Amino acid sequence: MAETETPQIYLITPPEFELSTFPGLLGRVLDSTEIACIRLSMATRDEDRISRAADAVREIAHARDVALVIEEHVLLAQRLGLDGVHLTDGARSVRKARKDLGADAIVGAYCGQSRHDGLTAGELGADYISFGPVGESPLGDGSHAETELFEWWSQVIEVPVVAEGAISPETVANLSGYTDFFGIGEEIWSTDDPTETLRTLLAAMG
C-alpha cells in the first residue's frame, strides 16, 4: 500500500450563497481547520455576481494565506487576482488555461472516473486531478470513482489527486491512504454547523 501523507482539505463553496453571511461562516471554518485551497464553484453565469462573490471570498482566503481558484472562468481568474482555475471538462482545456494563466497559476482538472483523462490532463500541465463522485450521488449517471482508481493513482502517478463528490465518513476512511485532498463542499454547507460537520469528516481519517 502506497502511503500518502494525511490528506488535506480542499474546500468547495456552495453553488449559491448570501454575501452578507457566507464570508463570516467561511472565515470561521478556515479558522477552525487547516484548509489547503478553496474553489469558488457557483451555479450562476452572472459575471457581476460571480465577481462580487470572488472578491468577498478572496479577501477571507488570502487574509489566511489560503489559495482561491475559480471553476471554469479563466478570464475572471486573471481579472480578479485569483490563484488559478478548476476545469470541469477533463483534459480538454488544460493546455490553453496553462498558457493563458502562466506557470505560477494553479490549474486543476476534474476528470470524473476517467483514468485516461487524468493522465492526459497531468501530461498537459494540470497541478492536480480531481476524480468523483466517490460516494453514491443522485447527480450524474450514478457511476462513481472507485477506491481502486485512487489506489492505482497514488502508487503510479506523481500529480496530486483530489477525491470529491458525496464525501462521507466512510469514503474518508476508505480513501485516506490514497488521496492527497478531499474536496468538501455541500457535505458541510448543507448542515446546521459546517465546522462541526467538517471536524466529524476529518476524524474519519483515523
Residues spanned by the domain of 74: 8-203
Q: What is the pLDDT of residue 206?
A: 73
Does residue 2 lie in a domain region? no
Does residue 199 lie in a domain region? yes
**Of 136-140, 142-146, 178-182, minimum mean pLDDT range:** 136-140
Asked if 53 and 20 count as a contact pair (C-beta separation under 8 A), the reply is no
Amino acid at 167: I
Closest CA to 7 of 120, 151, 175: 175
Residue 44 pLDDT > 50, yes or no? Answer: yes
pLDDT confidence tier of residue 140, bands split at 50, 70 and 90 = low
3-state secondary structure of 149: helix
Q: CATH number, domain at 180? A: 3.20.20.70
Q: What is the pLDDT of residue 191?
A: 97
| DSSP-assigned letter for residue 136 | -
Query: What mean pLDDT comes out for the span 143-169?
Result: 96
3-state secondary structure of 158: coil
Query: What mean pLDDT comes out for the span 123-128?
Result: 97
Does residue 3 lie in a domain region? no
Closest CA to 202 of 185, 186, 180, 182: 182
Closest CA to 135 of 98, 100, 173, 101: 173
Does residue 1 lie in a domain region? no
- Residues whose CB falls within 8 Å of the CB of residue 79, separated by 6 or more in sequence, listed in order: 51
**Of 66-75, 93-102, 139-148, minimum mean pLDDT range:** 139-148
Amino acid at 59: E
| Angle at alpha carbon of residue 171, lines to 165 and 176, rounded to 5° | 110
The end-to-end CA distance of the chain, in Å, is 16
Rounded distance between C-alpha atoms, residue 41 and residue 109, angstroms? 13
Residue pLDDT, tens place only, 4-34: 489 999 999 999 999 999 999 999 999 999 9
Residue pLDDT, tens place only, 85-105: 999 999 999 999 999 999 999
Residue 1 pLDDT > 60, yes or no? Answer: no
Total structural domains in the chain?
1
Task: List C-alpha distances in Å: 105 to 62, 151, 181.
Answer: 15, 27, 18
Peptide bond into 194 cis (omega under 30): no
